[in-house]
Every structure is written in structure tokens, then in C-alpha cells.
Structure 1
């Protein structure tokens, strides 16, 4: 048990160290005066609007969660209580990556008596739908900004030479794809009892089964609409901040969408609160869009910093609110 806890703390320390190092590497050459000057010259009406929109998004995420929780499980969960549990989860994620999902389930398990197994199942389903929405957002960004996608790809590889090579070796390419499919099928069948293969197959089975179960909810339309609206809110959060900063105020909505996609990918990285990875990817894409390196990094720092402070404040308030509630007890049978 001690070795397991030590291993967990080492993993936390490593992920935090990586995040801090990336952040330091990005900002070591930027003077604090530049950041302060940008903060003073920014339009805080738009940044304040971004914060308000984010707050609404957090509450909507809590409401969406209540749609997945079975009413026969313990005491009925109100949207307010689900919101507070969600914010506690975000707060924990700032210390331990991915631990927030378990933490927010633990909160409702204590206050409403809902089983951890059921709650964790709802969180897995939420994450599966969010993953689908992220993929859909990436496809939308590609449709709206396909030239930028191709330009970025062209920086990594010569697309004309690649296409010419594929055409001249088409039979080999097709044969290679078929062989790859056969190899993957062989591995899945041969090592179907292997732990990693089982986990991968189980993940996709759970995702498929979970998505099918959504249609059996009391309010499936509300779940799907709220899931889409959440990503609209993520976009509006980024877009309103871009309006409030002079160097990004002229970005088109499609370009901001591309920035949001890169930021979302950065937040998926297993580091505390996306620190470092979010900043690196957002700054990178802004530079490609013509924003100076300094302004791109400062933009990333402002939007991430305001969201970080918001999560800290709301998370602590929610944690204190939930800690005041008594532990749920099974009602005595009459």
C-alpha cells in the first residue's frame, strides 16, 4: 500500500514537473512588464463576459450530469448539488490529473448515497460523449480552416511529393493497408485475453453501449443539446477573450475555433490543469495565424489564468458548501 501511494505521488510530481518546465520554457524570455502592459490595455468587459460564460458552462455541465444519474439511486441529485460536485472535481484535477472524476463521484456518494459504480459509469459516458464532440469540433475546424490545416501539414511533410508517391505506389499502399488490417485483427484475436487489449476493447464497448443507453434516458434530447451547447460555450469563452485583447481582436470566428481546438487538445494532456501544454499549443497556432510570439503566449496566459482563478474560487466555495452537508444515511424501513 505504501509503495502504491509512493508511486502515485511520484507520478503526480513528474506530471507537475513536466507542466512547470514547459511553462517556464515558454515564458522565460517574456518580461513581466509585457504581461502587465497587456493586462492593463485589455478590454476587461470581454474578459469578464468570458468568465460569466464559463460559469454558466460549469453549471450546465452539472445539470447534464443529473440526467445520467438514475433516480432510484440514493437521494435525487439537484442541479445545484451536481454543479458543486463538478467544481470540486475540477479543483482536485488541479492537483492530481484525472483524479477529479473520482473526487466528484465521491462527493455525491457521501451526500446523496449514490453508488460509486453507478456514478463512475456516468462519468465514463460523459467523457465518451465529450470525446465525440471534440472529434466533431476538430472536423468542423478543418472544414472552416482547411487551408490552415493543409499549411500546418505542409510544414511537417511535402504534401505534393507525398501524394505523387502514393499514386505511383498505389498497389503497394493498398496492399499495406490490407496487411495492417489483418495484423490488427490477428493481434486482437490472438491476445484477446491480454490486459491492455481487454482494456481497449472494453473502452469501446462501454462507449458504444453508453451512447445507446442515452436514448433510454428520460430526457435524451436535453442531454445531446446540452452536450453541444457546452462546446459552444467553450468557443464563446475563447472568442470573448480574443475580442478583449488587441492582438487577437481581428481573428475570425473560424480562426478562434482552431485556437480552441488546439487548447482543448492541450487540456487533455495528463498534466495538472493543462498547465504548459495548453499554453504551448494555443501560442503555436496563434503564431501561425500571424500573431506575434509574445502576444500569442500572453493571450494563452490570460485566458488560462482567468479560468484557473475561476476554478480555484468556485471550487473552494463548492468544496466548503458540500462539506457542510451531512453524510447521507439509508432511510430506516417502516
Structure 2
């Protein structure tokens, strides 16, 4: 399939996913009721979400600098932050394109090879995936009530969740100190991967190995780990602060544990191929608030709209500002990636 047609199909699928989930989220809601709910929001708290969100992106950039230390030390925090925001902005428009553009932007501004920068992003994704797995297993283990809508006897599931938390943490440690071991395990299971996915699987694990070799994370284990947890903590803080923006008694009485549970739901929403988690975020958070905490459906959707749109608008605006200021072009990023992939 020609590359151009493949890109068009991927974009169409992304917008289709967003459209389906937007329909599911809003189909039973009267917009007059939604508007009335939004007009009652205390927007002082909404404004405070902006610096919290920007701080979390800044921390992501600082963590990235530790992954890039073997390539270059003393990378400008301004360039790191701008690259992260540009990537977020691009993902709000076309999923998966953001990683390429942010790597190209940082590589150009700091005069680094795009292959080196892209390699660290592979490791960064694995880090976030493992921390997310650790978080979701830990949260559900300590707050098994969230499983009640889906599982009758939570005591049966809790040992599995505890095992999942321990396994995720061990893999996280192994990634830092014995990354080659993980690579060997992934290589070992390659023959059982279906043929249609085998080539892509092989490229993925090769990308992991190259990223690991670049990052050499055993030297920066502690700061990367602390920054990772602090970044995820800030994500949860923003969701908790949003509770205070609503006059709904149920939302006001929700604790930080509820924010962490919503964070797991929102993370799953961002994994799906919808631009900026449009629709998927609204659907997942609304269902979580209604099913787990008994929040009114209109109020739950209002919460989803406010928290999503604040993040979406801010990241798009700031990312677009840096994209224009740094004179970046998507075509140049794609061309640089293609050239770097050549032997």
C-alpha cells in the first residue's frame, strides 16, 4: 500500500474513532442541560488547572533530558519543553505524529541525530506503560470497590492484581539495569507472533534495543523514576482539583483515590487512536463517574468536557506557538525520519 494512502487511512480511522465515541458520550444528553451545568462551574479552579498541566509537561521534558544524557548533556530545558508541547499539539490533530515531530524539533534545535532522539522515546513509552500497569494494579488492589460493577467477588481478583503490581515493578527495575535481558525475552517469543504482525514486532523490539543502548538508564535510575512518579502524580492532582470546580456534592466529596482511578481511565482513553483522546476521554470518564460513584450523567459529562478541553486547548495553543516560533515543518520531520531509517 502506498505510504500516502496508508497515512490517509490512518487519519480517517482516527477521526472515525473520535466520532463514534463522541456520539456515545453525548447521544443521551440535552445540550441545554449540559450548558446549564457548565455555567455553574467555578472557573477559578479551572484556571488553576493550566499551570498544573504545564508543570507536568515540563517535568516530562526534564525526565527526557536524563534519557538523553548519553547523547548530550546540558540540553536546554526550553527546547525540551517546546518539543514536548509541539508533540502534544500534533497528537491533538493526528495521533502518533507528535512523537516524530517532537523528536525532529529537539534534534534540530540541539543538533542531535533524530535516530538517537527517537530511540529514547521508545524507552519513554515503555517506562510510562510499566508505571501505568503498576498504578492500575495497585489502585484496584487497594480500592477493590471499583471492580464491583464488573466483578462480584473482588477477593478472587485481588491476588492477581497484587501479582501484576509486583511484576510491573520488577520489570521496571529490570528495564533500568538489565535491558538486554528484556530484549532477549522479547526476541525469544518472536516465533509465536502471527506472521502478519511479525515484521512490525521485530521493528519494535529493535527500536527498544537501540533506545536502551542510547539511554543506558542504570546511571540515572533514581531521578528518572522519581520524575516519572511525580509527573503521574501531577496528572492525578489536576483531576482532583477539577472536583472542586463543581458544586455537585458527590464530586466535592470524592478523594484523591478517585482522581487516580479516573487517571487510569483517561490513560486508556489516550491509548486509543483518537486525536487528542477526543471522544474516548469523554466516554471513559463519564462512564467511570456514573458507574463507580453515582455522579449524575450530565454532571459527569460536564466534568469530562472541562478537564479535557482545558488540556486540549492549552497544549494546542502552546504547542502551536512553539511550532511557529521554531519554524518547524511536518514534511521536514518525515523526510528526516526516512533518511535516518536508511542503512
Residue 10 in structure 1 maps to residue 9 in structure 2? yes
Q: Give the 3 Å change call, closer, same or farther, for CA 202–152 of structure 1 in structure 2.
A: farther
Deviation at 1:126, TM superposition (A): 0.8
Deviation at 1:307, TM superposition (A): 0.8
**CA offset digits 1:83-102 (Å, max 9, x no partner):** 10111111111121111001
Q: Which moved more, 1:122-131 or 1:219-228?
A: 219-228
The alignment's TM-score, normalised by the length of structure 1, stands at: 0.79
Q: Give the 3 Å change call, closer, same or farther, for CA 25–189 of structure 1 in structure 2.
A: closer
Gaps of 5+ in 1: 164-184, 328-334
Q: Separation in 2 of the partners of 1:225 and 1:191?
A: 36
Q: Which moved more, 1:282-291 or 1:23-32?
A: 23-32
Q: Give the 3 Å change call, closer, same or farther, for CA 146–188 of structure 1 in structure 2.
A: same
Aligned mate of 1:309, from 313, 327, 341: 313
Deviation at 1:200, TM superposition (A): 4.0
8 Å contact from structure 1 (residues 90, 100) kept in 2: yes
8 Å contact from structure 1 (residues 192, 198) kept in 2: no
Q: Give the 3 Å change call, closer, same or farther, for CA 45–11 of structure 1 in structure 2.
A: same
- 1:152 match: secondary structure: coil
2:118 maps to what in 1? 120
- 2:326 match: secondary structure: helix
- 2:298 match: secondary structure: helix
1:98 maps to what in 2? 96
Q: Which moved more, 1:85-94 or 1:106-115?
A: 106-115
Residue 300 in structure 1 maps to residue 304 in structure 2? yes
Q: Which moved more, 1:250-259 or 1:205-214?
A: 205-214
1:331 maps to what in 2? none
- 1:244 match: secondary structure: coil
* Number of residue pairs aligned between Structure 1 and Structure 2: 295
Q: Separation in 1 of the partners of 2:142 and 2:36?
A: 33
Matches within 5 A, 1:27-176: 27-70=26-69, 72-73=71-72, 77-149=75-147, 151-154=148-151
Q: Separation in 2 of the partners of 1:200 and 1:283?
A: 34
Gaps of 5+ in 2: 158-185, 333-343
Q: Which moved more, 1:64-73 or 1:314-323?
A: 64-73
Deviation at 1:210, TM superposition (A): 5.9
2:170 maps to what in 1? none
**CA offset digits 1:142-183 (Å, max 9, x no partner):** 12321222x1322xxx659x99xxxxxxxxxxxxxxxxxxxx
Q: Give the 3 Å change call, closer, same or farther, for CA 34–225 of structure 1 in structure 2.
A: same
1:234 maps to what in 2? 235
- 1:246 match: secondary structure: coil
Q: Give the 3 Å change call, closer, same or farther, for CA 72–101 of structure 1 in structure 2.
A: closer
Q: Separation in 1 of the partners of 2:279 and 2:194?
A: 38
Q: Give the 3 Å change call, closer, same or farther, for CA 188–195 of structure 1 in structure 2.
A: farther
**Alpha-carbon RMSD:** 3.0
2:267 maps to what in 1? 264
1:179 maps to what in 2? none
Q: Give the 3 Å change call, closer, same or farther, for CA 211–227 of structure 1 in structure 2.
A: farther
